[in-house]
Amino acid sequence: MGIIIDLEKKIKENWRKGIALGQDKSLLLLSEIPSFTLEVPKDKKNGDYATNIAMVISKSEKKNPRELAGILVDLFKEVDDSEYISKIEIAGPGFINMYLTEKYLGEIIKEAIDQKNNYGHNEELKGEKINLEFVSANPTGLLHMGNARGAAIGDTLANVFKALGAEVIKEYYINDAGNQIENFGLSLDARFREALGEKGVIFPENGYHGADIMVTVKGYIEKNGTGLINVSSEERIATLIEYSLSEKLDHIKTYLGKFGLVYDVWYRESTIHNSGAIEETMDTLKEKGYLYENEGAIWLKTTSMGEEKDEVMIRNNGHPTYFAADIAYHKNKYDRGFNRLINIWGADHHGHVARMKRAMEAIGYSADGLEVILMQLVRLYKNGEILRMSKRTGTYVTLEELLEEVGKDAARYFFVMRNPDSHLDFDMDLAKSDSADNPVFYIQYAYARISSILRQIGDGEIDKYLDETEIVLGLDIEKELALKIGELEKVLIDAGVRREPYRVAAFALELATLFHQFYSSCRVLNEEEHVKKNRLKLIIATKYTLENVLGILGVSAPERM
RNA sequence: GUGCUAGUAGCUCAGCUGGAUAGAGCAACGGACUUCUAAUCCGUAGGUCGGGGGUUCGAAUCCCUUCUGGCACACCA
């Protein structure tokens, strides 16, 4: 556990001890210790930490908060054995403000330097076995901006979870079965026959009209010839589907790879269909009395679980619905030993969430273990105008184009910097720009500046400065920077526990901002030896912190720019 | 119509599950390079937290109501 978290726990515990002591001495009336906050005040003038304990209990103690605060402070001072608190003040309506000694700032820096690329890591989520499923785009087309956002959020979240000690599997669910694929197959077949000169081919009603599948079909013919025309249409379609899916998947893998994302598991929906998993799940639901038949279809009684309407499981043509397969799939994930299933879905799927949870309960699995992060749409800005993303109008930016245009670093950062449930305005021009307005460059520039200083000292020489002498930071900006470094662990925990990776992106920006401020008012080289030593430690700690954060975000940390 | 979700500075967003004078960045205006990367920094200005009620020591935050966006309500996925 890191020093800051440790310290906060200790302080809180000591307030509790103080209160207990007050009870013993009959100075306080309360019988139970209530919950209270220990927070970092927004305004530095209010100390390093503040607690609202006096205000919380003032009513039941029948004393005014400030008077009570005085009593509490005396009690706290009696029990406090930490060496870090230098001053306590009572302020405002009854806040108790604590000021820390500067010794702990040095401890933070030391911790960062010692732990290097593990700095900030901890065991908050140790024991969690997380299956994180995201993107899972249909392999019948190209990845678009929405998929890219999911990819960035998912991969970052996975990195955060790992930093918190969880076991994480990144999984891609391949929709290679069901209606869509049947349609896809018919479209491929139509294109195939057309390509061989057949006249009057009827193109399926809901077929895939994209030009890309013609290219795929032509590619198949170039490699494998036209022999397929002589086999049964079933076999032909199956072959074309398999060929096409594998081509599309290779393409998807390639570009996700360029995006810095490597999956652990690619799970095929057809596995669920072919393994008997759906039948098994249906049997379970039937046994528990959740199924009934109507108009030739088999329905799930979701209404009995509080949903608005029942859902079809098996259509009257005998084929299971996507929902039925999805239930079996999620059951399968649990059966693989995960205790937490986290899915990242587009907001247009939100109606599916409650149903899935109810279905998990119905088959006797945990509904709470299934979590869904919903993402709002991405709005694309170019040349100051909104590009409506639409396949129809052709304003449709693929991951491929995005990577080409703005690069991996900017793309990943931009997708992660906002909360998933707010619409993301993606400014292509800004993402491309090499200026301070572009947060990615701003952060990377901080890293490059540190690297530049260290380069001038020389690799072999740096260790000379990293001795055990106590670190003394004289200026406010130095202290603020050290404090920010100390926040890393809390930020990672927050980001992981709340599933909000944007916190990591925001932290990176704050850290870079403080560094740039430091840089413009403090010199490192050509300073007196002890100042140089202190500041060097400070910037090395900053460097590791930046490195760790950028690593989690999947953004590169350039030594030079 | 029903449900979910959002509404905070001109723009894009924070606001740590109820705390102190609501914060950043951009845009605007004014400054700073003989010194480790000016791709940077400093300063100024900018607010009816969509509106209205309620809960309490205290509300952007919780409850009710209302308005305005977005999305979902298939034997599609």
Whether the beta carbon of A545 falls within 7 A of nucleic chain B: the reply is no
Give pLDDT, residue A384: 66
Beta strand A378-382 with A385-387 is: antiparallel
Whether the beta carbon of A205 falls within 7 A of nucleic chain B: the reply is no
> Is A135 exposed, middle or buried (CB count within 10 Å of its CB: 0-12, 13-18, 19+)?
buried
Give yes or no for a contact between A389 and A145, defined as CB atoms under 8 angstroms apart.
yes
Give pLDDT, residue A396: 67
User: C1' nearest to CA of A435: which nucleotide?
Assistant: B39
Instruction: Using alpha carbons, select from A505, A507, A510, A502 the residue that is nearest to residue A420.
Output: A502
User: C1' nearest to CA of A318: which nucleotide?
Assistant: B75
Question: Residue A106: how many CA atoms within 13 Å on its side-chain side?
Answer: 15
CATH for A436-553 is: 1.10.730.10
CA–CA gap between residue A326 and residue A545 (Å, rounded): 40
What are the residue ranges in chain A where pLDDT is below 70?
384-396, 436
Instruction: State, as a whole number of angstroms, the distance between the CA of A472 and the C1' of B26.
Output: 36
Two domains, one topology: A3-101 and A436-553: no
User: C1' nearest to CA of A269: which nucleotide?
Assistant: B77
Whether the beta carbon of A436 falls within 7 A of nucleic chain B: the reply is yes
* A295 conformational bin, left if phi > 0, alpha if psi -120 to 50, beta if neither: left
Whether the beta carbon of A364 falls within 7 A of nucleic chain B: the reply is no
Query: Which chain A residues in 400-429 sit with Cβ < 7 A of strand B?
Result: 418-419, 421-425
Give pLDDT, residue A448: 96
Give pLDDT, residue A16: 92
Give pLDDT, residue A366: 93
Distances (CA, A) of A557 to A34, A507, A553: 46, 15, 11
ipTM of model over 0.85: yes
List bases, strand B, within 7 Å of protein CB: 2-6, 12-17, 19-27, 35-42, 57, 70-77
Query: Which chain A residues in 287-326 sit with Cβ < 7 A of strand B?
Result: 294-297, 308-309, 312, 315-317, 319, 321-323
Give pLDDT, residue A389: 56
Give yes or no for a contact between A542 and A450, defined as CB atoms under 8 angstroms apart.
yes
Instruction: Using alpha carbons, select from A443, A441, A435 the residue that is nearest to residue A511.
Output: A443
CATH for A3-101 is: 3.30.1360.70
pTM of the model: 0.94
Give pLDDT, residue A393: 47
Residue-range domain boundaries for chain A: 3-101, 179-237, 436-553
CA–CA gap between residue A84 and residue A510 (Å, rounded): 25
Give pLDDT, residue A202: 84
Whether the beta carbon of A433 falls within 7 A of nucleic chain B: the reply is no
The full DSSP string for A237-306 is: HHHHHHHHHHHHHHHHHHHHHHTT---SEEEEHHHHHHTTHHHHHHHHHHHTT-EEEETTEEEE-GGGGT
Whether the beta carbon of A437 falls within 7 A of nucleic chain B: the reply is yes
Which residues, in sequence order, are CB contacts of A272 under 8 Å at separation 6+? A177, A278, A325, A328, A329, A332
* A34 DSSP assignment: P
CA–CA gap between residue A198 and residue A190 (Å, rounded): 9
Taking the CB of residue A202, how many other CB atoms lie within 10 A of it?
9
Whether the beta carbon of A348 falls within 7 A of nucleic chain B: the reply is yes
